[in-house]
A and B are shown apart, each in its own frame.
Chain A
Amino acid sequence: MLLQSWLNKSMKVEMTDGRTLIGMFLCTDRDRNVILGSCEEYLQPPGNEGKKEEPRILGLAMIPGHHIVSIHIDDDSKNVAEL
């Protein structure tokens, strides 16, 4: 299953207020609530040209589904479970 294969991969979630969270995808449900582990918060979308922003470390964070604007998955990062 698609969702299953994304578990433990790095995920980038953009929220309705413009912040971006990057962390390990751990859990989700039908309402698209997402839990990210070792989560970092960026005020601006990272990868923007300009100076690099220092993230704030949040740890375990749950993002309510209705606050999610977009989701990106990291194709390169290896599945931790496989290692």
Chain B
Amino acid sequence: MLEEYESMEDGEKKVEGPVYNWRCVTEEFMTACSKLDLGELLHDSSFGLFEAMSAIEMMDVKMDAGMMCNQIKRKVLTLPQAIEVTWLEGHSLAQTVFTNLYLHDPSLIEDRTMRAFSVCMLKIVDLIRDRINRSGVYEEEDFQPLTYGFKMAGDVTDVKAVTAMKEVEDELSRAARHLKGLIQEGSSEETSECEGVPQAKKLINQMLELIKTIKETVSLGIHPEDREVTKNDYPTIMGFDPLINQRLLPPTFPRYTVIHDRGEALDYIHTLLERLLSSTAMLDATNIQEVMCSENLVSYHHVFLAGLFCSLHSCPQVGECLVSIPSQTSSRTPSEPLTALYNNAEVKQYVDALVTRAVRPVCTVLQVLGHNRARQRDKWAHLLDEMVSLQDEADKVDGYLHQIQMKMDPNRQYGSSFGTWVLYYTLQVMLAYTLSGFELELYAPYEYHYVYWYLYELLYSWLYSTIQRAETFVIDHEAFIESVSVKGRGSKKGKKKKRSKAVQRELIICQAQQNMFGGYYKKLKQPSFEYDREEVRYSHRLAPFACVSTPPMVPYSQYKTQTVIRVAKTNFVTLKLLSGGHKQDSEDPPEFDFSLHKLYPVIKV
């Protein structure tokens, strides 16, 4: 493919190949220009202001990627690892990893050590690329999957590469062993998503140890010369040429990539490994809630890679969770249809269809967490649409099940388990959407008032009641099962207790958050809108929620009437504080300080 590309370009060159006959007209041009009127544009009839607007402005720091001053800041180019890290951070493969000439065709390298090392690098890059592609949580700006037709050492198997690595291990420094670890980690994940994890965990720990040694020995070996970088010489060590792949890049591509130095790169790998380690812990989570919780924690670190590996780990599990719904009860999943009802062929068909339909949106919930923060917000809004239609279907299934239940056993009530289950996720998505606004610093201080109000009055209170409802269903249902089965297995009781404990915990967290937001809301004074319309802002902020039928969008008018009552209370508290002589001489309004936590600001009067 590479050859094809080259030959194509050669062909183009032949067609062009213009021979210019340049004549210097600088002086004439300057004088002619100065005769133009101020603001007058000299142009052809076919060229208008509109075309002129779309031109790239040269020498503009933002628009002109090839600017010379953009090049001077370049950092020192070093170990392949450093380059790999730069690639991991979202730069083009051709500009990073493949600036190492050795990697272009490792089979040509005669030195055994170097060859094994190069093959390993290629393998690792390929594994990572494959992983990222499969989890699908990147956008163009985050990660560039293009390989530009480079061979990723596909002819060499993982095992072979590892053995080759082992052979040179004694000769070479420990960097080799580290690399071997990486590739093994990758392949162990490859072979068995879940079973390979304990082994991977062990390997990660080993690598963390090795990083220390590598850090200590970084100062050894060849170093690039220290010199001022000018336009045509780059600090480089043997085997690297930063411009080697320039021709493969698309035209508007940023020309120069800053490559990390070794120290930074090792730090990066270190944190990456630690994050991977924490993400493996997630597999112990028994239900989706725990997964989401830990995933949230991990991806708060803003590095999308971590989130990405998380979603890789958890996706198969989610599928499992969902598939097991009809037969096994997980805390929020509907357990209703499992006995007599589920034996009804038609019911089975409906339920299975719904579950299959639900797999995608619910998996997406987890996948979205792998995206970077700004993307997440868009994705959440988008996901809501899907949740709405899922909710519709769940309600239909619920209605149908209710009918059947009435026919079979009029004494027993069928709760809307599926509807509740979907509602739970819808609320989670809405919450994620609203809260992400804080993290991305989208809300202006005068908006806090209604955002907090919405969180407190609507979202968290709905979430609370939803969890509670689901719990009641489960308890009712289990009581029923126990009353039916005369045998009454003792083992089941313990399981139930454990589960409701988890639910209890979630309920408490939910309530605490609701109260937190309620507190902030009440603490805030109603902002004054002299030249602005709050209603417009309100509707705009919450626009994605308008399509959701349950919970319904609370109109602005309702927020307004609610506030009138609140204002009295808020003022009462504030006035009481102030009348107590608190901050008497200060005229500043209370400030919100988000430096300690992203969601719960510290209020400063």
Contact = CB atoms under 8 A, between A and B. Distances in A.
Contacts of B36: 3, 28-30
A56 B251 contact: yes
Nearest to A22: B20
Interface in A17-58: 17-19, 21-22, 26-32, 35, 41, 43-44, 47, 54, 56-58
Contacts of B596: none
Given A30-B40, A81-B44, A60 B51 contact: yes
A27 B24 CA distance: 18
B108 interface: no
A17 B43 contact: no
Contacts of B58: 15, 21, 61-64, 67
Given A8-B44, A62-B57, A29 B39 contact: yes
Contact of B54 (A7, A44, A57, A60): A60
Contacts of B255: 56
Contacts of B21: 74-76
Contacts of B39: 29-30
Interface stretch (B27-35, B198-206, B422-430): B27-35
Nearest to A10: B20
Contacts of A58: 56, 251-252
A1 B67 CA distance: 34
B246 interface: yes
B61 interface: no
B585 to A, nearest CB: 52
A28 B44 CA distance: 10
B29 A32 contact: yes
A29 B40 contact: yes
Given A60-B55, A76-B21, A77-B18, A41 B66 contact: yes
A12 B22 contact: yes
A70 B30 CA distance: 10
**How many interface residues does chain A have, given as a range?**
35 or more
B547 interface: no
A83 interface: no
Nearest to B37: A30
Contacts of A62: 52, 55-58
A26 B25 CA distance: 16
A49 B47 CA distance: 36
A27 B52 contact: yes
Contacts of B232: 43-44
Contact of B55 (A2, A35, A69): A35
A42 B18 CA distance: 15
Contact of A29 (B28, B33, B67): B33
A17 B42 contact: no
B38 interface: yes
Among B43, B252, B255, the one with the most A-chain Cβ atoms within 10 Å of its Cβ is B43
A77 B20 contact: yes
Given A3-B33, A32-B33, A15 B22 contact: no
B68 interface: yes
B67 A17 contact: yes
Nearest to B38: A30
B41 interface: yes
A14 to B, nearest CB: 9
Contacts of A15: 58-59
Contacts of A72: 22-26
B56 A61 contact: yes
A30 B33 contact: yes
Given A72-B23, A72-B24, A72-B25, A27 B57 contact: no
A8 B45 CA distance: 11
A57 B37 CA distance: 32
Given A72-B24, A75-B21, A7 B44 contact: yes
B247 interface: yes
Contacts of B540: none
A25 to B, nearest CB: 9
Given A8-B44, A27-B42, 9 more contacts: A6-B25, A17-B69, A26-B44, A30-B38, A35-B52, A43-B231, A67-B58, A71-B24, A75-B23
* Interface pairs A-B: 9 shortest CB-CB: A57-B251, A62-B55, A27-B43, A17-B68, A72-B22, A76-B21, A30-B36, A60-B55, A32-B33
30 contacts: A1-B32, A3-B32, A3-B33, A6-B25, A8-B44, A10-B18, A17-B68, A18-B231, A19-B66, A21-B58, A26-B44, A26-B47, A26-B51, A27-B42, A27-B52, A29-B36, A35-B47, A41-B66, A47-B22, A56-B246, A56-B255, A57-B251, A58-B251, A61-B57, A61-B58, A62-B52, A63-B58, A73-B25, A74-B23, A76-B19
Interface of A: 1-4, 6-8, 10, 12, 15-19, 21-22, 26-32, 35, 41, 43-44, 47, 54, 56-65, 67-77, 81
